[in-house]
Amino acid sequence: MFLSVITSTWLVWLLSQLVITDTSLHLVPIQQHKFHCQTASSENQAVFRVKVPTKKLAEQILPALCQNSVLKRQYGHVEVFWGGSLAEQIEFFGKGIADLILSKDSIMQALRADATHNYTPIIGYSSYSAFFISNKEKPKLEKAYFLDKRIGLLDYPTSRSGHILPKKAFKQLDLDIKNLNITYVSSHSALREKLANNEVDIIASYWNDKTDDEKFSHNYIIPIGDNITGSRWYLKLTENNTDLACAVQTITTQIAQSVGSAYFESLEKFWQCDLSPYKFIGEK
C-alpha cells in the first residue's frame, strides 16, 4: 500500500512537470496522425481539435463533427488526431490543445486538466472487466501456458483491457515480453477477427455480450481485471457553450452505441440536453 501511494504521488509529480499551464502560449500539436475537414465556412479559421486513441474512431467522429450544424456555426475546420500513447495524452490533454478528448479520469485528475483548462465530462463509459479470450480452450494463468501461444494485444498503451492488464499479468507470471509471440493490432474488433480466423490463439479484451456469445465460448475466457473505470469524453469549455456540449454529447453517444455492445448502452451522460436551457448535471 505504501509503495502504491509513493508510485501514484510520483506519477502526479512527473505529469505536472510535463504540463504547460500558461494558456497564453500558442500550442501546436506534435502528433502527426490526423484527419482534417472543412465545415460550411471557409473564412472561419477557428479549429476544433479532437484526440482519440484509434484510427477507426477518428474516421467515425470526423464526418459526424463536420456535418453538425453547431460545429458549422462555431468552427471553420475540424482536426482529429489519433494515437494511444501516454505522451500524446499529456501533449493534448495536459497542455489544453484538444477541444475534445477521450481519456481516463485518472489522467485528467493527475494533470488537473479540469482546473487548468476547464475540461468537462460529456459522456462516460461504465466500469467493465477484462479477460484473456481463447477460441479453443480455457486460458490458464500459468507461465508455461503462454510460452507457445500466439497472443493478440492492442497497440495503444493506454488501453487497460487490451494492453496494460495483460502485460501486468505476464509480469506477475515472470514472463519476458520479448520472448512472447505477440501481434499488436489497432482495435478490439481487429483482435476478435484475428482470433476467429485462427491467426492468434488468445487475445486480451472486454467481453461483448451481444456479439461475442455468437462467435466465441464464454467457457473459454478468464478474468484479468475487474471493475475497471471506463473512459470519458472531455470537452474544453472556456465559456458556457451549452449548444456545443449537447452537440458533442449527441455525436459521441451515437458513435459509442453504434458498436452494438450492451456495454455502451449504459452510458453516463453529464449534460441534460433535453432541458431548456441545457444544464450540466449537478448544477443548481
Q: Which residue reads 483548462 in cell numbers?
A: 117
The Cα 141–Cα 132 span in angstroms is 9
Report which of 240, 236, 233, 235 is spatially closest to residue 277, judged by C-alpha positions. 240
The Cα 163–Cα 106 span in angstroms is 17
> What residue ranges of the chain have pLDDT lower than 50?
1-28, 284
Which residues neighbour 105 within 8 Å (Cβ) at sequence distance 6 or greater?
Answer: 121, 124, 229, 232
Domains of the chain: 2-122+231-280 (3.40.190), 128-228 (3.40.190.10)
Q: What is the pLDDT of residue 265?
A: 60
5, 15, 76, 134, 209 from 142: Cα distances, Å:
29, 35, 54, 15, 26
Q: What is the pLDDT of residue 144?
A: 95
Q: What is the pLDDT of residue 3?
A: 43
List the grid coordinates of 60. 467515425
Q: What is the pLDDT of residue 280?
A: 65
Q: What is the pLDDT of residue 10?
A: 46
